């Protein structure tokens, strides 16, 4: 008979195991696991989040450590910095062509392919569950939560347009599915139709 009290333990252990198995330390690659995480982050984050502090929050590390990781990617010409027109002290980062080519060799591809083999309904349910877990854990540990507009309290879809109350501006369609450091999770995910309205 299955001991139901062990189920959360087993799920947590499997999540940690899958994360470790998917990391790059055992793969033959010129990037460290932290550098891969940074490269993925800048590929997935929106413009206001592709900053050293945004990455530091996402990686749950110090700003100094995050800056060192970013500088190493700059030296390899995988990312490039752009200074903000509004605040000259602020910078954001984008992948270079070399960075995008490197990301195509991401060791996480094996895990991505395995997840891709799941059927759509299973993937949707899995993503919703993991998103709730990530948000709940961030709240419990008083850490910033990261997510996309569709499940954020600041997000207002309206016809073909979308608005972010936190940034007090309309959202570009390309930014809606990207990670945001200003994300505040809703209690319940929005119906799929509401997300589609903003596409």
Q: pLDDT per position in the chain (199 positions), as tens?
A: 556 667 888 888 888 888 888 775 555 678 988 999 999 999 999 888 889 998 998 888 899 999 999 999 999 999 999 886 666 677 889 999 999 999 998 888 888 999 999 999 999 999 888 888 888 888 888 877 777 777 788 888 766 677 778 777 777 777 788 878 777 777 554 444 444 444 3
Q: Where in the chain is the domain with CATH 1.10.10.10?
A: 15-108
Instruction: Locate 174 and state its tokens.
Output: 């390309």
pLDDT of residue 85: 67
Report d(CA 196, CA 182) in Å as an integer: 21
pLDDT of residue 62: 92
Report d(CA 129, CA 1) in Å as an integer: 26
pLDDT of residue 195: 43
Q: End-to-end distance of the chain based on CA atoms, in angstroms?
A: 48
Instruction: Show the beta-strand stretches assigned E in 78-178.
Output: 79-83, 91-95, 155-158, 161-164, 169-170
Q: What is the CATH number of domain 15-108?
A: 1.10.10.10
* φ/ψ of residue 112, rounded to 5: -60, -45
Report d(CA 80, CA 74) in Å as an integer: 6
């Amino acid at each position: 008979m299955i001991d139901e009290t062990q189920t959360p333990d087993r799920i947590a252990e499997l999540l940690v195991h899958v994360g470790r198995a998917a990391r790059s330390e055992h793969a033959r690659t010129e990037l460290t696991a932290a550098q891969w995480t940074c490269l993925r982050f800048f590929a997935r984050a929106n413009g206001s989040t592709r900053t050293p502090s945004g990455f530091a929050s996402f990686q749950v590390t110090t700003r100094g450590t995050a800056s060192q990781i970013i500088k190493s990617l700059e030296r390899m010409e995988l990312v490039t910095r752009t200074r903000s027109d509004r605040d000259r002290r602020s910078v954001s980062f984008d992948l270079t062509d070399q960075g995008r080519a490197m990301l195509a060799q991401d060791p996480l591809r094996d895990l991505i392919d395995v997840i891709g083999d799941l059927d759509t309904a299973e993937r949707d349910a899995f993503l919703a569950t993991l998103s709730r877990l990530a948000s709940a854990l961030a709240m419990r540990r008083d850490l910033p939560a990261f997510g996309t507009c569709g499940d954020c309290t600041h997000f207002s879809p309206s016809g073909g347009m979308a608005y972010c109350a936190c940034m007090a501006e309309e959202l570009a369609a390309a930014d809606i599915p990207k990670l945001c450091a200003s994300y505040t999770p809703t209690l319940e995910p929005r119906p799929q139709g509401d997300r589609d309205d903003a596409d």
